[in-house]
Amino acid sequence: MERWSVRTLRAKIQGLLFERTALSKKPAELARQELAALREEDRLTPDLVFRDPYILDFLGLADAYSEKDLEAAILRELEQFILELGVGFAFIDRQKRIVIDGKDFCIDLLFYHRRMRRLIVLELKIGKFEAAVKGQMELYLRWLEKYEQQPGEDTPLGLILCTDKSEEQIELLRLDKSGIRVAS
């Protein structure tokens, strides 16, 4: 289904893609339902696209780095990063400036997923996930929905990539219902 080259497939095997997918907290029955929907309707769901965790060792970052360093490393190794994200992602912009009520905001990285037909916001956070990031991401998603979403596209999704997740906060915030995913 992914149509990977032999080289890409070997990299995925070395990156333990299968093991990471198997370790995700998604119930097996729900995963089966989503795979059935994919086969029957050729429809990808966000849960089939986004992974957790992402292995970004190819970025070559030292033990201590900032969000700006992480973003720069991702852009330097953009091809490898998109391969880690998965098939269908297209890079659109970095530090996309948006203005709301006269105040400037910047979306860290903006992608488009071709098969899901929607914009994907990637917010980079160093450290543990914090609940306040949900509000920031929702603001970005609603702005994109209002000003950037094209006819025929589905509503934008957000991926918060942080160093450490807080499972209980994520569960209590019901992020999956708001189009936001969190991955480490």
Q: Cα separation of 158 and 181, whole Å?
A: 6
Question: 112 near 102, Cβ under 8 Å?
Answer: no
Question: 128 near 162, Cβ under 8 Å?
Answer: yes
Low-confidence ranges of the chain (pLDDT < 70): 1-5, 8-60
* pLDDT single digits (tens) 66-119: 778 777 777 777 777 777 778 888 889 989 999 999 999 999 999 999 888 999
Alpha helices in the chain (DSSP H): 6-14, 17-23, 28-41, 46-49, 67-76, 78-85, 132-147, 167-173
The proportion of the chain whose per-residue pLDDT surpasses 70, expressed as a percent, equals 67
Predicted TM-score of the model (pTM): 0.64
